[in-house]
Amino acid sequence: MTESSATFGFRDVDAAEKPGLVRGVFDRVASRYDLMNDVMSVGVHRLWKDMAAARLNPQPGERIIDCAGGTGDIAERLAKLARAAKMRRGGPDAEILIVDYNAEMVAEGRKRGLSREIAW
């Protein structure tokens, strides 16, 4: 690998070419991304995401930004936890913003009709 090359999969590519290649992968798998994670992790990724969301402990009235939020599956978990806290204690809705570089991943998440607390 030279200074102007980067690793992509099992090959070296021109460094300037890599972002487009990565984006292309996510464009192609967006509609099956969460299923793909289920298969590759045998569902364990759901436990990891549940644990991460619980550890963040979202509260009513908080503003949360999910960077690289993809299809919004973690944001949905955060919204659910914040709603449960709101039901117990009251307060305003949490606001959750998903930001992602890949438009196909965002479009897939939007198609799912996620919680009203989530903005894209």
Distance CA 40, CA 53 (A): 21
Note whether 94 and 58 are within 8 A (CB): yes
Residue 1 in this model has a pLDDT that exceeds 60: no
Per-residue confidence (pLDDT) for residue 119, from 0 to 100: 83
Distance CA 91, CA 87 (A): 9
For 25-77, how does the pLDDT look when each residue is reduced to its tens digit (9 = 90+)?
Answer: 999 999 999 999 999 999 999 999 999 999 999 999 999 999 999 999 999 99
Amino acid at residue number 64: I
Token representation of residue 65: 């930004």
Note whether 114 and 75 are within 8 A (CB): yes
Distance CA 20, CA 27 (A): 10
Per-residue confidence (pLDDT) for residue 120, from 0 to 100: 73
For 21-35, how does the pLDDT look when each residue is reduced to its tens digit (9 = 90+)?
Answer: 999 999 999 999 999
Distance CA 22, CA 102 (A): 10
Provide the pLDDT confidence category of residue 113 given band limits of 50, 70 and 90.
confident
